[in-house]
Amino acid sequence: MTQLQIDGAHGEGGGQLVRTAVALAALTGKSIRIENIRARRDKPGLAAQHLTAVRAVATLCDADVSGLELRSQQIEFRPQALRGGEFCFDVGTAGSITLVLQAVLPALIAGREPAHVVVTGGTDVRWSPPVDYLREVMLPLIERMGPEVRLEVTRRGYYPRGGGEVAVSISPELLQPLQMADSGALQSLHARVHVSNLPLHIAERMRDSMTARLESVVEQAVEVEMLSFDREAAVGPGGAVVAWARTEHTVLGAGRVAERGIRAETLGDAVGRGLATDLAAGVTLDLHASDQLLVYFALARGPSVFTTHRLSSHAQTAMWLIEQFLPVQFEVRDTDELVTVTVQRQ
């Protein structure tokens, strides 16, 4: 079988390219060689969470993998048949659980066999979606395409220790397209704000600034769930604020993770402002969902349509990568206010 050559430095050139590439290899059965992995990063090559993601996908399809070591800039991935079952994956650090699941979920859904996956690592860490964004925004959108996906946060974990645990159960179905040319009427606004092993007032300040920003733009109250975890429910100190809006045709969301040196009010305001901007513009996918869902749209039987503010570098890279594996066409129409994307299998 011909081996597909992938330039890991193409476009955005980050870890998402690697995660998506091995997921696509697993679900298409194509062998790949990825070179120049994260070549333009300060610390090029594979980090711990990338290793876990590749190993996880390899386990799902009994792949033969070479070059898989810390800071490696080249790997070969030769998949076999995908399978369901029960799996456990440990990042071993505070590496992001949600980024590992970005690689695992498309492969498991394409495998068409029920599966249960437990991943340990960081639940809410910088440079990755908070786990509540995955649970309340991404998974409901995927479920609208047919599969049933349930996520349970067993334990929260943060930088630098990790130690969080998330369990996901998947009942695959053939993916159906999503037609989201407009968002439809706003139905409800929700938020989940949490802190672990930190004073509750930090969560309260995130909540207050988030709701103030949202409710100044949208004439609807935000239903907020406030959570405070102790040492039994969370490893280390941390927190996050995630808000989401359910509309007639979609789910929009925004989230930020608590960081040292950044005021709680700043984080909450950023989340409220981001979601309010999406609602005011009438987009059907927020910036993060618009790149993460592309692989699912490419697998669906029929054209999917969505609108967003702009195509991120992640999205543009994902489109290029998906076209290396699948007979799919991306049509992008850019107007002054929105970008409309149509994804169609050939």
| 301 has pLDDT over 80 | yes
For position 154, which CATH number holds?
3.65.10.20
Picking from 244, 239, 249, 312, the residue whose alpha carbon sits closest to that of residue 274 is: 244
What is the structure's pLDDT at 21? 97
| 93 has pLDDT over 90 | no
Confidence of residue 1 (pLDDT cuts 50, 70, 90): low
Confidence of residue 111 (pLDDT cuts 50, 70, 90): confident
What is the structure's pLDDT at 197? 96
* Same-domain status, 66 and 171: yes
The span from the CA of 312 to the CA of 45, in Å, is 22
* Same-domain status, 201 and 275: yes
Phi, psi of 38 (to 5 degrees): 50, 40
Q: What is the pLDDT of residues 309-340, one digit of tens each?
A: 999 999 999 999 999 999 999 999 998 789 99
* Same-domain status, 212 and 173: no
Picking from 277, 275, 311, 274, the residue whose alpha carbon sits closest to that of residue 294 is: 311
Q: What is the pLDDT of residues 225-255, one digit of tens each?
A: 999 999 999 999 999 999 999 999 999 999 9
Order of strands across the sheet that contains 304-308:
304-308, 339-345, 328-334
* Same-domain status, 154 and 271: no
The span from the CA of 6 to the CA of 29, in Å, is 15
Q: 235, 266, 281 — which closes off a domain?
A: 281
The span from the CA of 240 to the CA of 88, in Å, is 25
Confidence of residue 176 (pLDDT cuts 50, 70, 90): very high
Around Cβ 342, how many Cβ atoms within 10 Å? 17
* Same-domain status, 276 and 290: no
Q: Write out the catalytic residue numbers.
A: 314
* Same-domain status, 119 and 223: no
* Same-domain status, 23 and 159: yes
* Same-domain status, 159 and 47: yes
pTM of structure: 0.96
The tally of domains found in the chain comes to: 2
* Same-domain status, 78 and 24: yes
| Residues 6 or more apart in contact with residue 265 via CB below 8 angstroms | 205, 206, 208, 209
Q: 233, 253, 281 — which closes off a domain?
A: 281
The span from the CA of 1 to the CA of 35, in Å, is 19
Domain holding 11, by residue range, is 4-179+286-345
For position 219, which CATH number holds?
3.30.360.20
Q: 231, 261, 281 — which closes off a domain?
A: 281
Mean of per-residue pLDDT scores for the chain: 95
* Same-domain status, 76 and 222: no
* Same-domain status, 169 and 276: no
For residues 158-175, average pLDDT: 94
* Same-domain status, 264 and 295: no
| 13 has pLDDT over 70 | yes
